[in-house]
Amino acid sequence: MTEQRDKDRLEKRVRGLRGAVDVPENTAPAIIAATEGLLREIVARNKLVLEDIISAFFTVTPDLNAAFPAEAARRLGWVDIALMCATEITVPGSQPGIVRVLIHAYSDREPIHIYLGRAAQLRPDLT
């Protein structure tokens, strides 16, 4: 099984998958739930398996500080995946209440980037 997985991985290349979601309030349950929903959608739409995910880098707008979005990934079983969280830079006029993610994963297809809720306004070219 491991040999086949290694062979499949050689046929794939590392892709960067982007996504973002709005969070309705600065509470741990809201941040975790929104992030979980975003990660589930990215994984499903890109047909990823956990073994193909290398890392995930999360950012949150400065108003979201009640929880780390990486906690949502851990709850989904991302225990052997490198995770990092940071605060997004403060840009005048930018949307508050947004969690963003950049996932590096092995894949043999073009990435489908996912922007949910109000976050879809960040990338109207993708919706």
| 96-112 pLDDT tens trace | 999 999 999 999 999 99
CATH number, residue 96:
3.30.1330.40
* Total count of domains within the chain: 1
Identify whether 6 is part of a domain: no
Identify whether 72 is part of a domain: yes
Half-sphere exposure of 70 (CA within 13 A, CB side): 15
- What is the per-residue pLDDT for 89? 95
**Residues spanned by the domain of 36:** 15-121
- What does 76-105 look like in DSSP terms, one character per residue? TT-TTSEEEEEEPP--TTPPSSEEEEEEEE
Identify whether 8 is part of a domain: no
Mean pLDDT calculated for residue range 80-94? 95
- Which residues lie closer than 8 Å to 65 by C-beta, 6 or more apart? 26
- What is the per-residue pLDDT for 1? 56
Does residue 85 register a pLDDT over 60?
yes
- What is the per-residue pLDDT for 6? 62
Identify whether 5 is part of a domain: no
Mean pLDDT calculated for residue range 47-68? 97
Identify whether 68 is part of a domain: yes
Identify whether 10 is part of a domain: no
| 3-56 pLDDT tens trace | 766 655 557 899 999 999 999 999 999 999 999 999 999 999 999 999 999 999
Identify whether 106 is part of a domain: yes
pLDDT band at 123 (very low <50, low <70, confident <90, very high): confident
Identify whether 3 is part of a domain: no
**Cα(87)–Cα(97) distance, rounded to whole angstroms?**
11
